[in-house]
A and B are shown apart, each in its own frame.
Chain A
């Protein structure tokens, strides 16, 4: 049976069919749906871990325990999980270990555009790269076999367009492989220096064997169209190149992107006058070709930035351009915004009003940086709001402590905010940390986390009590506010900023998009009272606008949160 599936859903199907037993991940666009989809198969145990490092370690533990194990993350998540990965490359596995890493060329939903192939090279593990949903499923199954055969973790590299494109997939049955016996083996699994030295020798031998394997395996394919032009490519870039160039050139499509083969590339290049390397982001394949003495053209025409496409390739190689018609007027941009009823809105309005420095973090609330709220100064990575604020305050002293805050979501705080908070208490700055507790992992599309009281499957689970946790970290002043009450929230922030001790404010209100959150009817405008002063627009709610000199509330968006009623001094907005 053929089914239309997202690359991520097909990946999950591959996990199921390959007999995977344990999956542990942290959500991150564009990788999130793999773990959500695999959780729907009862045969696979699946969980959300607090962060990618924990997820990777769970998967490694499961693989050592003899199960086929899996974890998924986005590109920046692999930075968090790099530590266990690099050493697991030495220990190898028992049951197979497959890791999905989803890159985000073009930064649709990311803070940088890093190329995760560098991690595969540096950690010396096998990396595969599928180009559509069907290959996602097949490469996962192959990944488990190769992981066990070569005793290595296997990374499957995805990208936004592979993860989030649907194409047809042929479904197969699950093959139960069971759990292998566990045998204690300190020389393999305890990486004392004396054990790790011979393990490194094995890693280098393994790489040689993998290169030999990649020369003949069917994951790397040559499509010979009898042309004088050759294209070496992989993943989604292959699809773009194939669409642009059709049968006009020869293709070497690489399914294994680390380690790269030598002989196939040399033989492929020998038959062509000109060879292009078409790859998104960094020049990994190109550099390899040049290193083995194959002359190729790559980044000098394609560059290092953003996504490729069939149009870019056609323009660069064939000189063709599409005929384009335009609207002919400026079209205002439509950047993403906090939703109507978003609990973060009131809090960010307060912060803007107070004029404080806001050390920001990763989540929906990063949108607090956008106009008209514009109440965020920095965003670096998961957890950096808290630790960065401490550093900022150490650098700038007591005055800064009274005019700066960190903002971090509940899920991000569990991911890597706790250690930063411990540091604030331990190394004492009078920092003020605001935890935006909307009871869900929002930006990635509503995943449970350790504070929500539910696990990935939606079953009841232990819930971290944020107030108690912060106190246990050494913070004595912990307050809870409702961000829908802007004046009260502002007063609490002012008080905590003045205190000569570190403090935490928990701004608590569930995400307005959660199904269990009951919405009030849309608010109404009393046109007799409204003078069109635009005061209400300062909170940047997408449901509010001014038309013909009066405030208009979009009833399809308004959830009746009432923040705008606090803005309107004339009482023109009513229930």
Chain B
């Protein structure tokens, strides 16, 4: 099987590490060779962050380059726009509708682009936009929007729900499990 590439993008602190751990766990359980490349350190402090997930028969490079991603999962609209060049022609974008102003927008030296999702969709790109933050709050904690998005993306990857539930049990501490299962289910319904 040809190597598949998934990118998880967002703002440092939004919980992309748990998301990538979850996907990595699902893929390993399905017998794929998997590589997950994360970002640690300075950019985790509110900067633009990206995690690469690749799977197939044999994966070599852990990074994904422009034009290579089959799926991009974005935790924030502006980040969806930023990383769009990495999406393969015919690839899918799953994005939260959340907006977080970056510092140049806060200080007024730059403008947050308007109608990002509409503009991407006009290009004929397959976009699924979900209000993950509200769904996470409905599940009980705004921090669970990462798992809501995993619920959405689970509908696009073709593995059974059980596989994802098992991965949740593996990756999430016991006391947060119920909350995250709820968040996942809300995302899966929205997907």
Contacts and interface: CB of A to CB of B under 8 A. Distances in A.
B30 interface: no
Interface in A534-550: 534, 537, 540, 542, 544-546
B68 to A, nearest CB: 6
A310 B41 contact: no
A309 B62 CA distance: 9
A372 B110 CA distance: 13
Interface string A543-567: 0111000000010110000000000
Contacts of A243: 60-61
Given A4-B28, A166-B35, A324 B43 contact: no
Interface stretch (A85-93, A329-337, A471-479, A494-502): A329-337
A183 B2 CA distance: 57
B36 A4 contact: yes
A295 interface: no
Interface stretch (A16-24, A363-371, A425-433): A363-371
Nearest to B59: A167
Nearest to B79: A334
A400 interface: no
Tell me which of B20, B36, B44, B65 has the highest count of chain A C-beta atoms within 10 A of its own C-beta.
B65
Contacts of B62: 132, 161, 165, 167, 236, 239
A444 B111 CA distance: 31
B82 A334 contact: yes
Given A332-B112, A371-B103, A544-B106, A443 B42 contact: yes
Contacts of A556: 133, 142-143
Contact of B48 (A166, A334, A370, A537): A334
Interface in A298-341: 309-311, 322-339
Nearest to A321: B67
Nearest to B87: A325
Contacts of A337: 45-47, 103
B90 to A, nearest CB: 10
B175 interface: no
Interface stretch (B117-125, B151-159, B178-186): B117-125
Contact of A540 (B21, B103, B112, B123): B103
A108 interface: yes
A515 to B, nearest CB: 13
A325 B61 contact: no
B12 interface: yes
Contacts of B104: 332-333, 335, 371
A117 interface: no
- With most chain A CB atoms within 10 A of its CB, the pick from B12, B102, B105, B119 is B102
A6 interface: yes
Interface in B38-90: 38-48, 59-63, 65-68, 78-79, 81-82, 84-85, 87, 89
Interface in B98-144: 100-113, 116, 119-120, 123, 125, 133, 142-143
B107 A371 contact: yes
A332 B105 contact: yes
Contact size range, A = 35 or more
B113 A329 contact: yes
B165 interface: no
Contacts of B20: 166
B47 A334 contact: yes
B102 A332 contact: yes
Contacts of A338: 45-46
B146 to A, nearest CB: 12
A325 B123 contact: yes
A169 to B, nearest CB: 11
A309 B5 CA distance: 15
A379 B89 CA distance: 43
Nearest to A555: B142
Q: Chain A CB within 10 Å — which of B28, B45, B142 has the most? A: B45
A44 interface: no
A328 B123 CA distance: 10
B45 A367 contact: yes
A239 B62 CA distance: 8
A331 to B, nearest CB: 5
Contacts of A370: 103
Contact of A109 (B21, B38, B42): B42
B11 interface: yes
A448 interface: no
Contact of A326 (B35, B42, B79, B84): B84
A4 B100 contact: no
Contacts of A165: 35-38, 62
Contact of A108 (B24, B41, B108, B123): B41
Interface string B7-39: 000011100000011001100100001111111
A416 B122 CA distance: 55
B40 A336 contact: no
B101 A545 contact: yes
Nearest to B80: A327
Given A323-B89, A334-B11, A556-B133, A239 B61 contact: yes
A29 interface: yes
Contacts of A29: 40-42
A332 B133 CA distance: 22
Nearest to B133: A556
Interface in A179-218: none
B44 to A, nearest CB: 7
Contact of B61 (A6, A310, A322): A310
Contact of A339 (B46, B59, B119): B46
Given A534-B108, A537-B106, A108 B39 contact: yes
A568 interface: no
A333 B102 contact: yes
B41 A327 contact: no
A322 B68 contact: yes
B106 A540 contact: yes
Contacts of B48: 333-334
A75 interface: no
A272 interface: no
A132 to B, nearest CB: 8
A57 B102 CA distance: 44
A445 interface: yes
A324 B119 contact: no
A483 interface: no
B66 A324 contact: yes
B45 A339 contact: yes
A2 interface: yes
10 contacts: A32-B40, A167-B33, A240-B60, A240-B61, A325-B67, A333-B110, A334-B46, A334-B48, A371-B109, A546-B106
Interface of B: 11-13, 20-21, 24-25, 28, 33-48, 59-63, 65-68, 78-79, 81-82, 84-85, 87, 89, 100-113, 116, 119-120, 123, 125, 133, 142-143
What are the 4 closest A-B residue pairs judged by CB atoms, nearest first? A109-B41, A322-B67, A336-B47, A29-B41
